[in-house]
Amino acid sequence: MSSTLLSALVASGATALAAWLACLADPARAWSFRPIAEAAPPPPPPPRRPSVRIVVPARDESAMLPATLPALLAQDYPGEWAVVLVDDRSADGTAEVARAVAAGVAASDAAATSDAAAPARLGPLPLEIVTGAPLPAGWVGKVWALAQGVEAAGACDYLLLTDADIRHAPGSLARLVAESEADGLALNSRMARLRCESAAERLLVPPFVLFFNLLYPMRRVNDPASRVAAAAGGCVLVRCDALAAAGGLAAIRGEIIDDVNLGRALKGPVRRGTPGRPIRLQLSRSDVVSVRPYCSLGPIWRMVRRTAFTELRHSYVLLVVAVAGLALLFALPPALVPVGAVAAATGQPGWGAVLAGLGAAGWLATAAVAWRATRFFGLSPGWALTLPLAGVLYGGMTLDSGRMHLLGRRRAW
């Protein structure tokens, strides 16, 4: 190998290592997988019980609702609340399944309350199912479904916007409201715990959440003085007056990444000496859980491909920069280990030792960044060493997202 190539590889390896060390030293500590909502004691119940409407946008979700809708209908929130499910032109009988699930829950409640030994449960107002109207120009499907649900919900103090694949623990709503009331939050969001059982999920789900945290560090999201804002669309409790002040859902009507943009809208502008509205984003360990399975690479690939190029503001310049950065940070460190061995075997032992050392150190640094993520999902520490492979795959998904946009195959839901 030429000395010029070896020097370039050393410089690139040192850059990658420095970037990972800087990530570990960043005060935001995005890699730490904190804050976790359930790690803190819940606040006391508020003296006033605000009214809440739970809005569920659903399109072709008949497979998910039997696992999630009963939990929503079983919330133990003692105030006034109701569930509004928007069937957005589903082709799989989503509305019929929702009605059947609700009827089953009602029958179970009736049987329980007829038993003198069974305590009575304060049930919700009736489940309302809204049939989605055709998509207007300028709107994306999920935001339009949410807007229809909000309109049907009518006047209330809070809206809980939650996805059809999210299962809530019985006390989830009560805790979200208590936190929002105690701390005056305009938005209170949970990053649902994703399923992590199949090989594809173990490889790609922890890095998915890690990358989200790196892009939107939760400590900065939760700081009113920071311009960083985000939310996790699976579970977002918003104050109705704050949403109205931010322009309502019409303010994000064309945003395919609806949750992050909703967080930005609710936090509002942050200027020196003028903080934004208080918002909060936390991980959920058990109260808010996604039941959607990703049993192979394909579904995860399609999920990421849907929004990756949008995250890059539809810029092919940024796409090139992002893919190059992913190659530098993820692919290069492990690759330098065998390259160093080859250099040593071909009569350049000094270069070989430096390259292999930089590669090994960079790879270990990626594992240090990923360790908390794998631990959060209950995986063995060895999975942290697979972060470079996950990074390469996410780079491929990002490229594919740009390709799909170029071909005009853009998702609108």
Nearest to 72, CA basis, from 130, 131, 148, 123: 123
The residue among 125, 66, 54, 123 whose CA lies nearest residue 94 is 66
Which amino acid does the sequence have at 271? R
Burial class (CB in 10 A: 0-12, 13-18, 19+), 345: exposed
Q: What angle do CA 62, 66, 71 make, to 5 degrees?
A: 130
Task: Please say whether the beta carbons of 253 and 139 come within 8 A.
Answer: yes
> If you average pLDDT over every residue of the chain, what do you get?
94
Of 389, 368, 394, 409, whose CA–CA distance to 31 is shortest? 368
pLDDT at 118: 45
- What region, left, alpha or beta, does residue 347 occupy, with left being phi > 0 and alpha being psi -120 to 50 degrees? left
CB within 8 A of 402, min separation 6: which ones?
308, 309, 312, 316, 319
Task: Give the three-state DSSP class for 69.
Answer: helix
Q: What distance in Å separates the CA atoms of residue 116 and residue 99, rounded to the nearest whole number? A: 28
Distances (CA, A) of 196 to 166, 205, 219: 15, 7, 24
**CA proximity to 344, closest of 356, 334, 332:** 356
**pTM reported for the whole predicted model:** 0.93
d(CA 323, CA 314): 14
**What is the number of alpha carbons within 13 Å of residue 183 lying toward its C-beta?**
20
Question: Which domains occur in the chain, in start order?
Answer: 3-28+309-406 (no CATH), 34-294 (3.90.550.10)
CA–CA distance, 79 with 122 (Å, rounded to integer): 9
pLDDT at 108: 80
pLDDT at 122: 42
Instruction: Take residue 45 and report the two structure tokens written for it.
Output: 């119940």
Q: What is the pLDDT of residue 347?
A: 87
> What digits encode the pLDDT tens for the residues 77-127?
999 999 999 999 999 999 999 999 999 998 887 776 665 554 434 445 579
Sequence-distant (6+) residues with CB within 8 A of 24 are 31, 365, 368, 369
Q: Which residues of the chain have pLDDT under 70?
A: 112-125, 410-412
Is there a cis peptide before residue 35, judged by omega within 30 degrees of 0? Answer: yes
- Cα separation of 356 and 315, whole Å? 35
